[in-house]
């Protein structure tokens, strides 16, 4: 199976890349990035200044499945528009291209609080990407909805850092769905979802990844 992985340099994406390259199920992993990744015999690594410049050619690699681990914050992106571009427009656009090219399996990471009716721009955007990815019509779709994600990031997210510290302390006393989700567990869920390819839309909730 050929896998197209989006967001391979992020917290979840980097773990997903490592798992995919170590799994014999995948004959090839296509991971477009802005900076070159470490070479690997099973890795195809298109490099460009921005992902959108690489998008038109991604289907030429003929992937069998797509995992979307793209994600940022408004603070890091610099504006609402830039955040929405990464977390909504790119996942949907690539999803439509993949579906048109005959890709049957798609998995994406959103968030536990995602809702189209949320007052939060972040969670509302996550809800909208869930809604519109479902409309595309993939035979097998997995939507991972983690709580706060635990792991070492390349960039600092102050609000998330404070929340993670608190949840690590309170974790044993909290219901499972409110505990932090290790990036490795989320990555494993994404990999399993595209390998098994269960029909329809599968929701993977926080308590399944704690």
Domain ranges, ordered by start, for the chain:
2-209
DSSP 191: H
Whether 2 and 63 have beta carbons less than 8 Å apart is answered as yes
The stretches in the chain having pLDDT less than 50 are 157, 159-171, 173
Q: Say yes or no: domain 2-209 is CATH 3.20.20.70.
A: no
B/e letters for 65-75, b = 16+ CB within 10 Å, e = fewer, are: bbbbbbbbebe
Q: What is the pLDDT of residue 72?
A: 86
Q: What is the pLDDT of residue 144?
A: 97
The 10s digit of each residue's pLDDT in 87-144 is 999 999 999 999 999 999 999 999 999 999 999 999 999 999 999 999 999 999 999 9
Entry pTM = 0.87
> Which value, in Å, is the radius of gyration of the alpha carbons in the chain?
16
């Amino acid at each position: 199976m050929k896998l197209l992985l989006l967001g391979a340099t992020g917290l979840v994406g980097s773990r997903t890349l490592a798992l995919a390259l170590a799994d014999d199920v995948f004959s090839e992993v296509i991971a477009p990035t802005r900076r070159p990744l470490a070479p690997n015999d099973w890795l195809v690594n298109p490099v460009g200044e921005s992902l959108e410049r690489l998008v038109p050619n991604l289907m030429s690699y003929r992937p069998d499945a797509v995992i979307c681990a793209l994600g940022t914050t408004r603070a890091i992106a610099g504006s609402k528009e830039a955040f929405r571009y990464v977390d909504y427009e790119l996942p949907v656009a690539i999803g439509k291209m993949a579906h048109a090219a005959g890709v049957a399996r798609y998995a994406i990471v959103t968030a536990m609080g995602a809702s189209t009716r949320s007052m939060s721009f972040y969670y509302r955007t996550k809800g909208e990407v869930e809604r519109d990815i479902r409309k595309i019509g993939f035979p097998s779709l997995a939507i991972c909805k983690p709580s706060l994600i635990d792991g070492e990031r390349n960039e600092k997210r102050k609000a998330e850092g404070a929340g993670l510290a608190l949840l690590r302390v309170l974790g044993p006393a909290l219901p499972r769905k409110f505990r932090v989700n290790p990036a490795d567990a989320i990555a494993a869920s994404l990999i399993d979802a595209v390998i098994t390819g269960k029909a329809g839309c599968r929701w993977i909730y926080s308590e399944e990844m704690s």
